[in-house]
Structure 1
Amino acid sequence: MKRRLMARFLTVPLLVLGSGAHAVKLTVFAASSLTDAFTEIGREFDRRTGNRTTFQFAGSQTLRMQLEQGAQADVYASASDAQFTPLVGHLLTARQVFARNTLSVIVPRGSAVKSLADLTRPGLRIVIASPAVPVGAYTRQMLEAVDRAGTYGRDYAARFLKNVVSEEVNVRQVALKVSLGEADAAVVYSSDLTPSLKERVQAVALPGRFNQLAAYPVGVTTSARSGPQAQAFVAFLLSADGQRTLRKWGFRPAR
């Protein structure tokens, strides 16, 4: 009996060591808008797998440039195909859409700006992302849709852009300008209206016919240090639990 008990106790540290021996360190490059959702997903993924996942959040165009310049990452999650698809086949192994998003116009709480028409008032300070940033490209597509409709005058986009005082390199910086009172309005993703941000800003109605649907692709890099574990992270994003967390943070389903 004493020998059996001793054997059982001795196997415990070996089992613990064994579970950690296969853990790997993963580096995930992800669009800024994914910061909250991926931080939560990463914690749960690591808890289940024993891996150590670290994230680098930035504008998708910045992350793409870093990958093209040789930066080491295992997974890349972009906010648009424009910054993702050109890398498939030489820096990325494949493409899978794991989430979708829409645009939202935000203003400080209590603002007199109530509609898209108000955004062209002279002297209004608007902040958007630069054209290379996915949300910046979607913003300009939204403005083109408004112009085509003619609902607010055919020169709406020109009058809107005349009020732009800053173009940022990622969507979180765009949202920050409004929350700090440095801008009167901004265009961000719907997912950027996090609980903490909603304490300081409110959304202006954006008719569905003008809004844009953003697809978020993800893929494993060809230089991934552990392809199977990187694939496991992608699979977790697409799993029911991963999709539930993404929905919690304001993203739309992948399908």
Structure 2
Amino acid sequence: MRRLAGLLAAFALLCGAAPVLAQDESLTVFAAASMKNALDEVDAAYTARSGIRIVASYAASSALAKQIEQGAPADVFVSADTDWMDYAIAKKTINEPTRVNLLGNSIVLIAPKESKLDKVAIGPGFDLSKLAGDGRIATGDVKAVPSGKYARAALEKLGAWQAAEPKFAMAENVRAALTLVARGEAPLGIVYATDAKVEPGVKIVGAFPADSHPAIIYPVAATATARPQAAEYLAFLRSPAAKAIFEKYGFSFLIRPTS
């Protein structure tokens, strides 16, 4: 009887442990579209180390902030500008003490790979409208999407916005704008340097001066409803391993990496 009781206890222990072992541990990350290639690799490295699967949803930061506001189940938010992170904090959907301004970027003028256009000097008096000719200029929606907001700010400062505005094709996010240029549907586009780097169908023909627009900063934070595992994930994003991946894709790392 004693042996039988022991077997039954062991069986019960195994049965009780089974749901824990079978549990699918995951985190949901809402991230700016421009993050996709780099963050996919970072997430794969994190999963290999932790066993926690990352489910990433990529879109314009504006769309993601509003989805979180409407109750979308996200654990972490990575925005391509500080404005939309500030918006989310104001709506109390972000755990503000977890916020870190993690990455930096730059914006560039791109053309299809086969374009004859090359080496455009971007500065005061720069005539983007003339360069576009009868074609369109692709970028994110200048009223909401960070890439578009940065593009408009730069063009306004350089005195090129008013003439070029009618020629803009506003995309729902920066990757959609990138695709328009890669397919030759727009002869010019304004995207992040990191986007141009991962798309073989385009080439960079000019770089916008850093002082022509607000600093491009990617803040990251846990949401107000984040699961406890989010803290470890955020710590990994600040690690030397993540830094190496982000820098490989052209992002600048704005903080001192932590072990």
Q: For this structure pair, what is the TM-score category when the shorter chain's length is used for normalisation?
A: 0.7 to 0.9
Query: What's 2:217 paired with?
Result: 215
Matched ranges for 1:72-221 at <5 A: 72-88=73-89, 90-94=92-96, 95-114=99-118, 115=120, 116=122, 117=126, 119-121=128-130, 122-130=133-141, 131-147=143-159, 156-164=160-168, 166-195=169-198, 197=199, 199-208=200-209, 209-210=211-212, 212-221=214-223
C-alpha separation between the residues in 2 aligned to 1:207 and 1:183?
Answer: 19
The aligned amino acid for 2:220 is V
Query: What's 2:6 paired with?
Result: none
The aligned amino acid for 1:146 is L
The aligned amino acid for 2:234 is V
Total equivalences in the alignment: 228
Unmatched 5+ stretches in structure 2: 1-13
Instruction: Work out whether residues 93 and 224 of structure 2, in 8 Å CA contact, stay in contact via their aligned partners in 1.
Output: yes
Identical-residue share of aligned pairs (%): 31
The aligned amino acid for 1:236 is F
Structure 1 position 44 matched with structure 2 position 55: no
The aligned amino acid for 1:127 is A
CA offsets, 1:49-104, max 9 Å, x none?
11111100010001011011011110011001111112226211122111111101
Unmatched 5+ stretches in structure 1: 1-13, 148-155
Matched ranges for 1:26-45 at <5 A: 26-45=27-46
C-alpha separation between the residues in 2 aligned to 1:134 and 1:219?
Answer: 17
How much is the aligned-residue C-alpha RMSD, in angstroms?
2.2
Query: What's 2:68 paired with?
Result: 67
Instruction: Work out whether residues 156 and 162 of structure 2, in 8 Å CA contact, stay in contact via their aligned partners in 1.
Output: no
Instruction: For residue 39 of structure 1, report the CA deviation from its aligned partner.
Output: 0.6
Instruction: Work out whether residues 103 and 189 of structure 1, in 8 Å CA contact, stay in contact via their aligned partners in 2.
Output: yes
Instruction: Sort the Cα spacing of 1:51 and 1:207 in 2 relative to 1 into closer, same or farther, 3 A.
Output: closer
Instruction: Sort the Cα spacing of 1:101 and 1:163 in 2 relative to 1 into closer, same or farther, 3 A.
Output: same
C-alpha separation between the residues in 2 aligned to 1:146 and 1:93?
Answer: 37
Instruction: Determine helix, strand or coil for the equivalent of 2:253.
Output: coil
CA offsets, 1:141-177, max 9 Å, x none?
1112212xxxxxxxx211121222x201100000000
Instruction: Sort the Cα spacing of 1:19 and 1:251 in 2 relative to 1 into closer, same or farther, 3 A.
Output: farther
Instruction: Work out whether residues 20 and 50 of structure 1, in 8 Å CA contact, stay in contact via their aligned partners in 2.
Output: no
C-alpha separation between the residues in 2 aligned to 1:192 and 1:98?
Answer: 18
Instruction: Determine helix, strand or coil for the equivalent of 1:35.
Output: helix
TM norm structure 1: 0.82
The aligned amino acid for 2:138 is V
TM norm structure 2: 0.81
Instruction: For residue 23 of structure 1, report the CA deviation from its aligned partner.
Output: 6.8
C-alpha separation between the residues in 2 aligned to 1:135 and 1:43?
Answer: 26
CA offsets, 1:202-255, max 9 Å, x none?
11122524365310001111111x22x101111111111111111111111123
C-alpha separation between the residues in 2 aligned to 1:222 and 1:185?
Answer: 40
Instruction: For residue 113 of structure 1, report the CA deviation from its aligned partner.
Output: 2.9
C-alpha separation between the residues in 2 aligned to 1:124 and 1:249?
Answer: 30
